[in-house]
Structure 1
């Protein structure tokens, strides 16, 4: 299964307790839904885990992963991202996108000029931000992912059209 057929749905935040449970960060709209998409795989597809949710922890869930029986095994997985096959995930409304689908898209302005490419999608509370890497710039630009600032997303064409706030992409 290629990387395009999978979507990152969570990450392991470390061990929870001493019997192999893990702290799990879910990237799903409903956190507990992560268990519905199991078995989950590592990025390279080398490991696969069944997921049994066991409770809640600060900033996440607690879970048992198949084959993980000790605190040391759980600690060794800290930071590992977990992927689910795209066909197991719910289809999204036309105005919603999986972060994995936005990363790498070319960012065009309303005049057709390239502003760069989406490097990452971040959310610090209020709204998603697209981290845009523009050639020739030292720093990336954080573009609000709102209908006003990004009126068009064309996944088939591999690009999005941005109408950024005044001055956001001006020369440094």
Structure 2
């Protein structure tokens, strides 16, 4: 997928005519305008957008390569992609999701928390799922927490605000290690 960039993910079929419900993963909704070309993850030829409309917080999209509900069910869970060379240049401090996945995440003090495994889209803001020795951590993708992103070094530095790390386990009512 390195030559491509995800702009949406198919979350379910909708209706009987091959329409699919999409989680939009782009700030550029024109990617889904009728006539636009999108690639289904795993396919070699593009599909053309026939129609798109908003529906209950998602986008319903009709692609010319999905003729019916059976075809739509077959692609459920797959990403809709564009060639990376068609990606818009983002302003400084903004990143495409796939540029962040895999970054090592460390605290300001240098404590390795793990690697960024997934960007979770929420209503308020994005959240980074970090997997590491402490288990899974959810880090809000906000300026107060994310202090630095260094793509060249493959690293993200975060400020540990209260509630981000799991509480210390207690032994006999006192914090472990006391």
TM-score of the two chains, using structure 1 as the length reference: 0.83
**More strand by percentage:** 2
The corresponding residue for 1:63 is 61
Contact in 1 for aligned 2:149/2:156 (Cα 8 Å): yes
CA distance change for structure 1 residues 13 and 132 in 2, over 3 Å: closer, same or farther?
Answer: closer
Structure 2 counterpart of 1:150: 146
- The corresponding residue for 1:14 is 12
Match of 2:175 in 1: none
State the SS of the aligned residue for 1:112: coil
Answer with 1 or 2: which has the greater Rg. 2
TM-score of the superposed pair, with normalisation by structure 2: 0.80
Q: Post-superposition shift, 1:30?
A: 4.0
The 5-angstrom pairing of residues 39-58 of structure 1 reads 39-46=37-44, 48-58=46-56
RMSD across aligned positions (CA):
2.4
Q: State the 1:36 CA deviation.
A: 8.0
Tell me the equivalent position of 1:74. Answer: 72
Task: State the alpha-carbon separation in 2 of the partners of residues 64 and 168 from structure 1.
Answer: 41
Q: Name structure 2 gaps, 5 residues minimum.
A: 170-178
Superposed displacement of residue 43, structure 1: 2.8
Figure out how many residues of one structure are paired with residues of the other and give that number. 168
Question: Following the alignment from structure 1 to structure 2, what is the Cα–Cα distance between the partners of residues 161 and 90?
Answer: 25
Does 81-90 or 24-33 show the bigger shift? 24-33
Deviation at 1:66, TM superposition (A): 2.2
